[in-house]
Amino acid sequence: MAKQSIEEVLIEFNPKLPRLSVSESKVLKFLVEAAKLISPIYLEQEKQADSGLDRKAIEEAAKKDPTISSPYTVVEKVDGKLTAIPYHVKYAELLKPIAEKLEEAAKITDNKEFGRALKLQAKALLDGTYDQAIAAWLKMEPYILDISIGPLHHFDNQLSFSKSSYHAWVGVIETEGTDRLNNYKTITLSAIRKALVPKERIDPQKIKAKVLNVLVFSGIMARTRFTGINLPIDVSLVEKYGAEVTLFNQPNDLRVKEQILPTFNKIFSKGFKQGFSEEDLSRGYQRCVALHELAHSYLYYRNAVKNLQDLFSSLYELAATILGLRLAGPLLLKDRITNKQLESMIVAYTCRSFYLMERGLGSKFLMNYALGGTVFINFMLESGAIKKFDGLISINFTKTFVSLHELSYILEGLLSQGTRKDAESFIKKYVH
């Protein structure tokens, strides 16, 4: 594989870090080394995805052999028959040195709980006991160092079930941002929010939240450059162990620089642009991501993946963004954020959506988000909340907030009791 390809799936950042102890610095070094070794595995997975196996044949075979639809298997043709090979078997050689690095880190860390989770993670990479590792990480008390490594349940293919992609991130907790995120979390999640269909929704008992200064993104994380994530995605795991929201500072800065600001400069008039500084948009976007990830906590509908199939991810992500923006309303009424900050969130997400509409519909990695962004823009144009004139955009914030409520209601309806057909006809209405 060409060197350039490895670079595409491995991003190193150079954040300003707090003072770490000698042992923490050593542990961090091992974690970064382990994370970097994920990228070749992910590249193998990308090659595998392009192997030309027929999607319908795989879905048909999965009805007889459930391991084919497991998120942790590679499907290959062996003697003319579709066969599932567990990830830990298929990639055993590449995983061994990663597990060793984690073991080394586990030996020298002063934090016993962290060490235990690292050992379980190393074990999971080699024998597929992922749930035990997930449980250990979710039970852990907050700690300054952070790593997530292994197969990530992420919907980046178009099968009716999803295959996990190898990923890794390594970061150091940013205390101030984490405190702010936890403050939002407490305010937002402490109100009892009614479920559209209560028996269908899972209400996780525990949601953890942290903001990281990131040292490395590897595998699918580097491809997608997520700015935030809420894991696990699997509702049955959320029901058992809770979930954790993580925000990433440096990838957020990167997205603002590469997507939000250029789009902002392109689509708004000079007068409108004078109302928002770069700082407003950067913070607005991060706030938007924070509330998006927190909003997922209200959207764990038991059968949504099964019912909406390949359209689940687009609608789930959009529903979280729209509900997240709505959740900013009560924050404003409680004086926790200002009108300007809410406006900055809406402007930043509008920019992201226009960017996705232009660039994402043809991209495998952005497709799910691009569909959502396109629905958002066209829904807002239809309601008159956003207007286009002379190639420029204007936003009526009051109308936007009313439309967010309507859109949020439709999306939650689809997640809670919609069928794939319902989802398809809704998307078709707004994505031409």
Partner 1 sequence: MTKINESPSRAGKKVYLTAQGLADAKAELEFFKNTKRTQVAELIHQAREYGDLAENSEYDAALEEQAMIESRISELENILKGAKVISEKHTEDFVVIGSTVKIEMDDGIDEFTIVGRVEADPSKKRISNESPLGSSLIGAKKGEVVEVATPIVRYKCKVLEIK
Positions touching partner 1 (CB under 8 A) are 182-183, 186-187, 190-194, 326, 329-336, 339, 342-343, 397-398, 401-402
Say whether 312 sits in a helix, a strand or coil.
helix
Those residues with Cβ within 8 angstroms of residue 254's Cβ, 6 or more apart along the chain or in another chain? 225
To partner 1, the closest distance from the beta carbon of 102 in angstroms equals 35
> Residue 319: in which H helix or E strand, if any?
helix 312-333
Query: Considering beta carbons, is residue 276 or 401 the nearer one to partner 1?
Result: 401
To partner 1, the closest distance from the beta carbon of 329 in angstroms equals 4
To partner 1, the closest distance from the beta carbon of 186 in angstroms equals 4
Query: Considering beta carbons, is residue 22 or 333 the nearer one to partner 1?
Result: 333
> Residue 209: in which H helix or E strand, if any?
strand 207-219
The span from the CA of 337 to the CA of 332, in Å, is: 5
| DSSP structure string for 38-100 | HHHHHHHHHHHHTS---HHHHHHHHHH-GGGG-TTEEEEEETTEEEEEEHHHHTHHHHHHHHH
Lookup result for tokens 């994505």: 431
To partner 1, the closest distance from the beta carbon of 342 in angstroms equals 6
Query: Considering beta carbons, is residue 61 or 342 the nearer one to partner 1?
Result: 342
Q: Are 359 and 374 in contact (CB under 8 A)?
A: no
Query: Considering beta carbons, is residue 46 or 412 the nearer one to partner 1?
Result: 412
Query: Considering beta carbons, is residue 231 or 299 the nearer one to partner 1?
Result: 299
Lookup result for tokens 């070794």: 37
Query: Considering beta carbons, is residue 196 or 220 the nearer one to partner 1?
Result: 196
Query: Considering beta carbons, is residue 240 or 399 the nearer one to partner 1?
Result: 399
Query: Considering beta carbons, is residue 86 or 413 the nearer one to partner 1?
Result: 413
To partner 1, the closest distance from the beta carbon of 259 in angstroms equals 24
Lookup result for tokens 């609608």: 315
Amino acid letter at 284?
G
Residue 150 pairs in a beta bridge with 167
164, two tokens: 């996990």
Cis, peptide link before residue 251, omega less than 30° from 0: no
Closest Cα partner for 44 from 110, 84, 95, 82? 95
Q: How deeply is 276 buried, as exposed, middle or buried, from its count of CB atoms within 10 A (0-12, 13-18, 19+)? A: middle
Largest distance between two CA atoms of the chain: 66
To partner 1, the closest distance from the beta carbon of 406 in angstroms equals 13
Query: Considering beta carbons, is residue 187 or 381 the nearer one to partner 1?
Result: 187
To partner 1, the closest distance from the beta carbon of 79 in angstroms equals 55
